[in-house]
Structure 1
Amino acid sequence: MGPLTAACAAYASLAAWLWLTFAQGMFWRTDVRLPPRTAPTHWPSVAIVVPARDEAEVLPRSLPSLLAQDYPGEAAIVLVDDGSTDGTGELALRLAREHPGLPLTVTSPGEPPAGWTGKLWALRHGIALARGAQPTQPDHLSQAHPHPHLHLHPRPDYLLLTDADIAHEPDSLRELVAAATSADLDLVSQMARLRVAGLWERLVVPAFVYFFAQLYPFRRINRPGGRTAAAAGGCVLLRTEAAVRAGVPDSIRQAVIDDVSLARAVRRSGGRIWLGLAERVDSVRPYPALTDLWRMVSRSAYAQLRHQPLLLAGTVAGLVLVYLVPPSALLAGLATGHPAVAWAGGLAWLLMSGTYAPMLRYYRLPIALAPLLPFTALLYLLMTVDSAVQHYRGRGAAWKGRTYARPSDA
C-alpha cells in the first residue's frame, strides 16, 4: 500500500469515527435505563411466557427468579418445552415445587411446522395458551401449583417474553410494568447483562452489545415516531393488544432475528417501543469457549444482512475500514515516517477506544481492554463470513439441533 493510499484509508477511517461518535445517536452511551415510572393505581395482569429447548443447565438459576417475582397484580408463568431431550419440562415442575411462587404451567407444542422457527412456534403456543386459546394439541400440560385459571381471564393485559437463560431480580416485572404504564409504551425491552466470566467472554460479549447499539442506537429506537426499531429478545414486555394488532408472532414466524423483527412489527402497527440496558436482569448462559461464542454470533449474522452478498461485501469492507485500519495506519505511519498517517490512525483508534470504554465499565471490566477492540472486530468479521459460508452450504441458522436453511426476517 502506497503512502497516498494509506493516508486516504487513515483519513477515511478517522472521518467514519468522527461521524459514529457524534452523529450515530450517541450509541456508545450506556445510561439508557428504564424511563421514569410510577406505580399504576391498578396493576395489570401479566402472562410470563418462557420458550425453552434443552435448558436444564441454566434453568435452576433462572426459573426460580421468575417464580419469586414480587408483583402486586395477577401473574402466571407458561414455560413452553420446545422438544427438549434433557428433561427441561420435568425440571421446571420440580423447581416450581421447590420454590413456591407464581403459578407455573409447562406445555409442549410439538415440532414446529414448515415456515416457523422453533422459538416463535413455542411463543405462539404459549401466548395462545395464556390467552385461553389452544392452537395446537400439546404433548403434555402440567401445572406445578393448581390454579383456578390456566390463563389469566379474560386475557392478560401484558406478556413478558423472556428466555430460559434470563434471571430477574424480584422487582423486575413490577418495574417493567410500571415503566410501560407510566410512559404508555406497547413494548418495553431490556438488554440483559450477559455473562463475562471467562477470557473469551470478556473479549467478545461487551463488543456484541456495543456493535448492536451501533446498529440500533437506543435513543433513536426510543424516540416517538422514530424509524429505528429493535428489541432484546431475552426480556420483552409486550402489551397484548399491541401483539394482536401487529399479528405477532405469526407475522414474523420465519424470523431468525426475532427480537428485531418483533419490534419492527409493533412499530409498523403504530405501537410505541423502548429499549435500554438492564441493571437487574442477567443472562446466566455460559460461553466458556470461543467456539460457543462463535456459534452464537455466526448462526444469525448473515440473516442480519438479509442473505445478500453485496451487503456482506460492504460489511466486511466497513469492518476493515472502521476497526482494522486505525491500528494498522498508526503502526505503518510510525514505521514508514509518515506522521499524518500515524496521526489519523491514532486519533481514530483513540475515538474507537473511548466510545468502547463506557460499555466495558457497564460490564465492570477494566478500560484497558478498550484498545483490543480491533482484534475483537476481526473475530466478528470472520464469524460473519463463516455465517455466509454455512448458509450457502445449506446449513443456514443452526441452533440446538435445528437448521433453518433460508430464514427471512420480517
Structure 2
Amino acid sequence: MPRKTLLTHLIILALLVLSSFTRAETWPQTLEQAKGKTVYMNAWGGSENINSYLDWAGEELNERYGITLKHVKVDDIASVVSRIVAEKSAGRESGGSVDIMWINGENFRAMKDNKLLHGPFVENLPNWQFIDPVEKPTTIEDFGHSVDGLEAPWGMAQLVFMVDTDRVSQKPTSMQELLAFSQKNPGLFTYPAPPDFIGTTFLKQALIELAPDAKRLKQPVGDDFEQVTQPLWAFLDALHPTLWRKGATFPASSSAMLPLLDDGEIAFAQTFNPSTATTAIHDGLLPETVRTYVHKAGTIGNSHFLAIPYNASAKAAAEVTINFLMSPEAQLRKANPKIWGDPTVLSLSKLPLQQQQQFRDQEDGIATLSQEQLGTALQEPDASWMNALEQAWLKRYR
C-alpha cells in the first residue's frame, strides 16, 4: 500500500476511535435534551414515497425518543438557505425556524462559506461507526468540498437514464450516440429545464463527456468558461431541434417526465435515484417495459446530506433525528424500492452479520441496476459550475 494511502487510512482510523469516546460520553446527554422537542425538517416535498417514509420516521422518533418531526415541504432548498441568511441578517442567532435541511452541492457550500451551519457534529453520532469514507468518499465530500462534519450523509445517488424498451431497442450509451439516435428518432428524448437539479446534472454529464479536458471541471469556473463549455453548447444546439416538442419547451422536473414516459409522449427520462423506475412501476406510474441504463463511460454520482443550521431551535433533537435516519434500520427501509429505493450510505462490512444479510436479501427490483451494472460513478464538477451552467443555459435557450 502506498505511504500516502496508508497514512490516510491511519488518520481516519484514529479519528473514528477518538469520536467513539466522544459519543460514549455525550450521547446520553443529547438524548435527554432531545426529549419533548419538535424538529422542523425542511426537505423536498414532491414525492409521495419520500413523504410517506418521513411520516414513518416521525412515528418512530416520537415513540422512541419523544421527538415530534415536522416535515416542512419545500420545492427548492435554496429558498430555505435564503431564509436562514435573512434570519442571520436580522440578528436571530437562536430560535431559528429550521432544525434540519436536506441539502448538498452549492447550497451546502453557501451555508458553509457563510458559517450558517451547526457543528461539526457528524462524527459524534453513534451511527457514524457504520460509515466508511474510504469505501464511499462522497460521504465526506460534497461537490469537491470537504463536509468537515457539518452535514451527515443520508443517501447515495447516481444519474441513470430510463427508457421504454417497447419503443427503443438500442439504448444510446454516450452523448454522441444520443445525438445520433435523436436525429434519427426525433421527439422521443428530452430533459428537465435547468435550474431543475436533474436538468443541470444532464448538462454537467454532457460537459464531462464532451470537454477536451474533464479534469478542468474539478477547478472553479474561470475566465475560460466559454472556451471550456463550447462543445456542450454545440451539442445542445444540434440536439434541441430533435427533442420532444422540438426543444421549444422542457419538462419542469424529473418527476414531471414520468407521466410523459407513461403516456408514450417520450421514450426516455432521467433520475438521480437508480430505483426510481422500479418504484414507479410498482406504483403503476410507469409501464413494466421501462428499464434503467447508464452511459458506458459512467455517470455522475454523489451523496445527499442532512445539515443543522447554526441557529436551529432544537439542535440536540435534530442530531438524534439524523442519527436515527442514518441507522441500519432506517437505511434498510429507505433502500427498499417499494418504499423509496434510495441507496444506503452505510458500508455493509461495518454492520452486524444479520443486518448485512438483510441488505443483501433485499431485491433491487425489476428495473434497478446492480452496483456492478451502475459501473463508474463520475465525480461532480466543482460546485461553481452548477450556477454558471444554469445561467448560461437560461440565457441561450429561454
TM-score by length of 1: 0.30
Structure showing greater Rg: 1
TM (norm. structure 2) is 0.31
